[in-house]
Structure 1
Amino acid sequence: MCEALKNAYQLFEEIGRGRFGTIVRAFSPVLADFVACKIIDKRVLTDATDRACLDKEPKIMTLLAPHPNILQIFDVVENDDFLTVVLELCEPTTLYDRIVGRTLSEPESASLVKSLLEALAHCHRLGVVHRDLKPENVLFDSRGTLKLADFGSAEWLNEDGLVEGVVGTPYYVAPEVLLGREYNEKADAWSVGVILYIMLAGIPPFYGESATEIFEAVLRGNLRFPTRVFRSVSPAAKDLLRKMICKDPSRRLTAEQALRHPWILSGGETSSLD
């Protein structure tokens, strides 16, 4: 491990583990607060793509900072063998933990989605696409403030406002990504729509027994609102879902446009389209 890290921070227990390293709780005398140290063993990175993501993530997070709904980066400490990214410390529960096995009310869903859209709109204004939006990558600080995290798959838009590359997680990835075409920031808006659908219904809009079956369902893009689970969901919420989980990216809302939708502006009030 990097000696500079040990000198600058008091390291405590491991609080998480990923493909390339561990996350350790630590104390920063400079910040006078606890932080999370994401310690990555560069020696296990044999793939050039993984190395590129490792280099890019801290740069993107630094560009995006500060924003109240994006995980804050404080420091990067590196030597030949290890890269450590020092991050804001969040609670151990994610959005996934909040929604698994239960549905959320419309006001609670609207509040969470508004915060997520605020984070995304900020990313998109700065030319960054997240590309792996899912509940597991949405954290909360000790005050309950939503924090968008994990920019390992994020990419800068090119001069034409596009990116390429098939990345993402089966349930949440947009159809244009799966087709292998260039795409824009609206791929993120699709993913937020899927997250909102799960909040309100307790099930994903597209599913299958395998990743292949899920991808096929996503590519068909047949959005349905089964009566048994959407009976009590307002027309306004369903209107927003249709406009975010829209197969045609040219007709899909951007994050900025979704923030101006009546359902979001009303805080999830069920009469917001009346």
Structure 2
Amino acid sequence: MAPGRLGPFVLDAPLERGGMAVVWAATHVDSGTPVAIKVLDRDAAHDQHRILALEREIRATAALDHPGVIWVFDAGRVPAEVAEAHPELGEGLPWLAMELARGGTLQHRLRALSWPEIESIVLDLLDALAHAHARGLLHRDLKPSNILFRTPTSERPVLADFGMAHSTGEASTPGGTPAWMAPEQLLDDVAGQGPWTDLYALGCILHEMMTGRPPYTAATPFGVLDQHRGAPIPPAPETYSRGLA
């Protein structure tokens, strides 16, 4: 295999670096189709939790077939010659090739959405979640940065980043992001998590789309978690996002 290739894809340039992975722009050798490839960075080579998270994302996303879920094209592991050519990639680490969504994330659109746009986004997300839930799969990390748009003008959201996903009733590790975590995600009782866990997160996202901020805020992540666990439902805000003005 050529040093700049993962499977049938040629690596072009890094697009984004996250806490555990690098997303590359790449191109399918035969068709010329642009794709995004998520691959764990070299620092994750000995972090079994991160490796398992990406493997879980690969399995979860590949099991879904819905226009509201990111399309997956291929997956594999980084071969030695590619790791030598790209020192930031670790030999043997998993990679995932998916569609290249060029429209940014919901995070970038939060404060300019009109009510019809908010309604449409929520209904589309509910439909995509229903597809996943009907197949026994929970996302468990819904947040604005994990909701993409295929083009800058597209109004239809796409669910991505299933790294914390698991099957209903399956043993799992705690997961999620504090601002959008359901109270039951803080508990060790897996039976307490279900489709309602994702719906709680979607409710938090709806609040943020309407007000420009999550329902609960605090000085620390633990403070936010405590509010999710026991604070009253926030009162109606005095101001709304400018798109609703």
TM-score (norm 2): 0.82
Is 1:75 the counterpart of 2:74 in the alignment? Answer: yes
Is the Cα–Cα contact under 8 Å of residues 39 and 85 in structure 1 kept in the other structure?
yes
In the aligned structure 2, how far is the partner of 1:6 from the partner of 1:188? Answer: 33
Deviation at 1:55, TM superposition (A): 2.0
Structure 1 counterpart of 2:215: 205
Q: Tell me what 2:174 maps to.
A: 166
Task: Single out whichever of 46-55 and 208-217 deviates more from structure 2.
Answer: 46-55
Q: Which runs of 4+ in 1 moved over 4 A?
A: 1-4
Unpaired runs of 5+ residues, structure 1, are 235-274
Contact map agreement 1:42 1:81 (CA 8 A) in 2: no
Confirm or deny: 8 A CA contact 2:57 2:163 kept in the other structure. yes
Select between 17-26 and 214-223 the one with higher mean Cα deviation.
Answer: 17-26
Measured in 2, the distance between the counterparts of 1:112 and 1:44 equals: 34
Shift of 1:57: 1.4
Structure 2 counterpart SS, 1:193: helix
Q: How far has the Cα of 1:97 moved from its partner?
A: 1.0
Are 2:44 and 2:51, in contact at CA under 8 Å, matched by a contact in 1? Answer: no
Per-residue deviation, 1:103: 5.3
Contact 1:69–1:147 (8 Å) recurs in 2:
yes
Q: Percent identity, please.
A: 30
> Which residue does 1:178 correspond to in 2?
186
Which structure 2 residues correspond to residues 12-51 of structure 1 after superposition, within 5 A? 12-41=12-41, 44-51=44-51
How well do the aligned residues superpose, as a CA RMSD in angstroms? 2.7
Is 1:190 aligned to residue 200 of structure 2? yes
Deviation at 1:59, TM superposition (A): 1.1
Q: Which residues in structure 2 correspond to 1:142-153 (within 5 Å)?
A: 142=151, 144=154, 145-153=156-164
- Is the counterpart of residue 119 in structure 1 residue 128 in structure 2? yes
Contiguous gaps of at least 5 residues in structure 2: 80-90
Q: TM-score, normalised by structure 1?
A: 0.74
Change (3 A) 1:221 1:164: farther
Shift of the alpha carbon at 1:163? Answer: 5.4
CA displacement 1:21-46 (0-9 Å, x = unmatched): 32111111444421111122467332
Give yes or no for contact 1:70–1:119 (8 Å, CA) kept in 2: yes
CA contact (8 A) 1:129 1:156 kept: yes
Alignment check: 8 A CA contact 1:9 1:28 kept:
yes
| Conserved? CA contact 2:179–2:217, under 8 Å | yes
Partner of 2:88: none
- In structure 1, the partner of 2:87 is none
Q: 1:131, 1:188 within 8 Å by CA — same for their partners in 2?
A: yes
Find the counterpart in structure 2 of residue 57 from structure 1: 57
